[in-house]
Amino acid sequence: MIEKKLIMTDEFLALKKGISSLQWSNAQFVRDYALELEDDNLQMALLFMDRAKELHPKGPLIIKKYDEYKQAIDKGMTGLREELPNSKISLGIKERNEFYNIKGMLKSKLVMFVLFPWAIFCLYQVFFATERYVSQSQVIVRKPDAQATMDTTMALLSGFGVSSGGNDSLLVVAYINSTDMLSYLDNALDLKQHYQQTNIDILSRLEGDATREEFLEYYLNHIDVIIDDMSNVITISTQSFDPEFALKLNNMIVERAEWYINSIGHQLANSQLAFIKKEHKGIESKLQVAKTELLNFQQQYGLLDPEAEGIAIQQITYALVAEISAKKSELKALQSVMSESAPQVISAKVILQALEKQMESERARLSNESKEKQLSVSQIITQSAYLKVNIELATQAYTSSLISYEKSRVEAYRQLQYLITVEASTLPEDNKYPDIYYNILLALVFGLFSFGILSILIATAKEIK
């Protein structure tokens, strides 16, 4: 069969090669040529008559001879259709039939898989899709005061009072999209029941046995929360099947979001207050300890003011030195005119010895040259000064801690942040969804595009096979 097909192809091409392009385009010439071949080669005659029929489809003789040749071949030579040549100029009978079959099949599939579903979708959009209303509001998060809650000294020591740099707007968006917000809205507005109303079309409403995850996904598909990168303004859009419910839902979301952002601030403020309160108690204890140490030290040495008493001892010592010097001069003067046994000289010596002994005693008190286990006056003064410095430092720390504690206590009981309304929730007057014209056009484009890609893939697979 393959060898016969090749012979037929070569024979047809050989005959066609002897015909000019002008003659090949002439229906009468091709018809006459086929009539000449009908006695010798009926198959070739049918091929040339087919060409004449393409050039002049309504020629009565051409139609008559074409039918006769075809009937004769169908009776005696059924293999003719498989042996027709693959010519670039003229399609054979089999190829032409297959082309029209494929074309018709594509048309039927286009109607079945694209146009028919698209028509059903159009009917649904126009007559059955439930209208959805959208309420919109715009808010922004602002803090009333950026001042740190702690005193400067305390803030440097503890590290508090430094801004975290977090974006509060992102926290608001995350909470609105959370399960906690959904649970609150469901309890406050019976949101799930609203989305499951029987008057909503079956494709739009929430299923009656929907799980928590499905409910959350449905909720997220019916709200839209967008942050403007430049101004940090948050736009909240809520969809509902009733305009008043959409407004109520939007207001409820805004109020709950403000509560949430303030609850976070209060939690942080209370934690900070607890920390500062603990530190304040520690600093207060240190101040009491410093005062107690100084009081015990004064009681131990019987001194009300060690520094003043030390200065007084120094002045006494300096006075004794001056008086001893004067007595020595007086004694030398008496010795120059009197004998050593003279009463005046003896009295001067006794007084001078008493003064020198007293001076040594005072110096011993200052320098602790005695063997007693007590501190000298200079050591007492030094120790007293050290204890007073401790009291001053503890007092400063106590003052700063007290200021920080009072500020933190105030911050914990006031509103730390505000959700300022830029645009109040709107009451929709007309439905925004479904967008019928847009949805219908998009469905048609998507169907045609998908059908085209699928047809190309199928044709490619068949060609490869």
**pTM (whole model) above 0.85:** no
Tokens of 175: 């909470």
Query: Which of 5-9, 62-66, 95-99, 280-284 is modeled with the greatest confidence?
Result: 62-66
Note every long-range contact of 39-42, with CB atoms under 8 Å and residues 24 or more positions apart, other chains counting.
41/11, 42/69, 42/72, 42/73, 42/77
- The secondary structure of 27-46, three-state, reads HHHHHHHHHHHCCCCHHHHH
Cβ 52 vs Cβ 34: under 8 Å: yes
Q: Note the pLDDT tens digit of each residue in 310-348.
A: 666 667 777 777 877 887 787 777 777 777 777 887 887
Q: Note the pLDDT tens digit of each residue in 363-417.
A: 666 555 444 445 666 666 676 677 777 777 778 877 887 787 677 666 655 546 7
Q: For residues 249 and 251, what is the distance between their CA atoms, to the nearest angstrom?
A: 6
Q: For residues 326 and 312, what is the distance between their CA atoms, to the nearest angstrom?
A: 21
Q: What is the mean pLDDT of residues 102-110?
A: 62
Strand partners, 137: 236
First to last CA, the chain: 22
Q: Which of 263, 261, 238 is nearest to 251 (CA)?
A: 238
Query: Which of 68-72, 74-78, 167-171, 427-431 is modeled with the greatest confidence?
Result: 427-431
Q: What is the mean pLDDT of the chain?
A: 76
418-423 and 234-240 strand pairing? unpaired
Q: What angle do CA 123, 126, 131 make, to 5 degrees?
A: 130
Cβ 405 vs Cβ 276: under 8 Å: yes
Q: What is the mean pLDDT of residues 54-65?
A: 83
- pLDDT value of residue 159: 43
Instruction: Reduce the DSSP state of residue 118 to 3 states and report it.
Output: helix
Q: Note the pLDDT tens digit of each residue in 16-29.
A: 777 877 778 888 88
Tokens of 430: 């007309």
Q: For residues 180 and 259, what is the distance between their CA atoms, to the nearest angstrom?
A: 13
In degrees rounded to 5, what are phi and psi of residue 324?
-60, -40
Sign of CA dihedral 140, 143, 146, 150: negative
